[in-house]
Amino acid sequence: MTVIAVIGSQWGDEGKGKAVDFLAERADYVARFNGGNNAGHTVINQFGTFKIHLVPSGIFAQNTTGLIGGGVVIDPQVLLEEIEMLNKAGVGVDGRLWVSPRSHLIMPYHKILDGLYEEAKGKGATGTTRRGIGPVFADKVSYNGIRWTDFTSDMFEQRLEVQLTLKNKIIVALGGEALKFEAVRDEYRGYYARLKPYIRELFSIVQDGLKANKIFLLEQAMGTFLDTDWGTYPFVTASTTIPSAASAGLGIPPKYINNVVGVTKAYTTRVGGGPLPTEIHDTESEVYKKFGEVAATTGRIRRVGWLDLEIVRTAAQLSGMTEICLTKLDVLSGLKEIQVCAGYKLNGESVRYADVDAYGLDKVEPVYKSLPGWSEDITQARTFEDLPANAQNYVKMIEDAAGVPVKMIGVGPEREATIRR
Ligand code: GDP
Ligand code: IMO
Ligand code: MG
């Protein structure tokens, strides 16, 4: 059996969507297991250009069945829009996309509270996507959540009534406007009616698939260092992002997760607050302009920095990474010199990522190593040998530092701009 987890080894936006789209040709099942529509995964293929938030990025491969596990939180309106958009583009998701009835719903009050909490924190804000992610996961673990399964009885109305009694008090106290029961009930009953054909228990699909040796491609949302436990808390997201989350989020026993592809950007980006040791602050510099990106979900400008090998090394250890998919190598073309962070110093002592908390990580000094760049455009390279020697050396240096082979290399945003090694 082959279960492949595709995870980001930095702070998100490593290019997981593209990697999953590329790998999906060989997969039977493509699945999301964590997060929600805070994710924004870019896919560029024969169907067009897509920014996907909830549907697995492997859905474009017509041989696949898409699964959205119970570990994912769902904004029904976003899911409906996405399904409609994919069907319009000719991808055809009906009859091959299943959503777990165990998944929790993002309710209007979750989005309102997300914004109110962020504003209350001022300068210490996490910089969330304001999609209601923290509040919905908080409700999940405090037994206050609403799930699809609640619509099969009158539990939905009962639970909504209690939640609105609680949440409206907080919303009003913080200066917001109370939500009306009837309006929320009717809106969500309407979503359920439209999404019902996609809602199906995944237990037997997953178990039968594992038994029949089907290939599962598991698409992580966010990145390793946004993980609630192992990320830069409190500048993290509300779900577990390391591969073990796929076990709870989909019902796949841990022993099956035997391949972990660590998608790693050739430099570093981060959206929102929190430490970024290799951050480049000079917005006029050549590298800042080269590395600059716009966030796929919120349209914010991503913060940028040099590649941090301590981060990649730690991700490899935490996730049991078996191979690296290096992305955006093409973006480094034209730099005379490339800096990489080989490790950290704090008060003159060497420290590792795990030795410090988020506030300590903000104080570490990166120990930089400089590598010669290359001037050639590499977007047409399709084999490792097509790459200039200095680009090859950059790749080898990453393998050595992480102790994991680089088996895929991205040289452009399109699916085919990929080197398979
Ligand atoms: P994800 O959240 O991990 O799926 O990543 P995003 O889609 O949010 O951000 C990655 C960005 O990099 C997107 O704009 C992709 O189209 C782009 N991208 C991915 N791989 C490559 C690559 O190898 N080269 C270039 N130039 N762009 C890439
Ligand atoms: P993908 O899957 C990058 C960040 C937010 C914020 C923190 C908490 O596209 O890589 P949240 O809304 O989750 O409560 O915000 O996490 N964040 C992401 N950053 N890529 C993502 O997803 C992210 N999802 C959340 O910017 O700092
Ligand atoms: Mg993204």
Name which of 158, 161, 164 is nearest 176 in CA terms: 164
Ligand 1 touching residue 42 (CB < 6 A): yes
Q: Which of 101, 13, 85, 27 is nearest to 58 (CA)?
A: 27
CATH topology of domain 2-100+203-261: Adenylosuccinate Synthetase; Chain A, domain 1 (3.40.440)
Q: Which CATH class is domain 108-195?
A: mainly alpha
Report how far residue 297's alpha carbon sits from residue 40's, in angstroms, rounded to the nearest whole number: 5
User: Where do we find the tokens 């997760």?
Assistant: 257
Task: Compute φ and ψ for 137, nearest 5 degrees.
Answer: -70, -35
Structure tokens at 137: 């996961």
Residues near ligand 2 (Cβ within 6 A): 8, 12-13, 38-41, 126-129, 131, 133-134, 221-223, 226, 237-238, 271-272, 296
Per-residue tokens: 229: 């436990």
Q: Token match 């945003």: residue?
A: 413
Radius of gyration of the chain (CA): 22
pLDDT tens digit sequence for 141-187 = 999 999 999 999 999 999 999 999 999 999 999 999 999 999 999 99
Is residue 1's pLDDT more than 80? Answer: no
Please give the mean pLDDT across all residues of the chain: 97
Tell me the one-letter amino acid at 280: I
Enumerate the domain spans of the chain. 2-100+203-261, 108-195, 264-420
Could you report the per-residue pLDDT of 312-339, keeping only the tens digit for each?
Answer: 999 999 999 999 999 999 999 999 999 9
Cα 270 to ligand 2 centroid, rounded to whole Å: 9
Residue 274 burial (CB < 10 Å; 0-12/13-18/19+)?
A: buried
pLDDT digits (tens, 9 = 90+) for 92-130: 999 999 999 999 999 999 999 999 999 999 989 999 999
Nearest to 111 by CA among 73, 149, 70, 162: 73
Q: Are 364 and 305 in contact (CB under 8 A)?
A: no
Write out the CATH class of domain 264-420.
alpha beta
pTM attached to this predicted model = 0.97
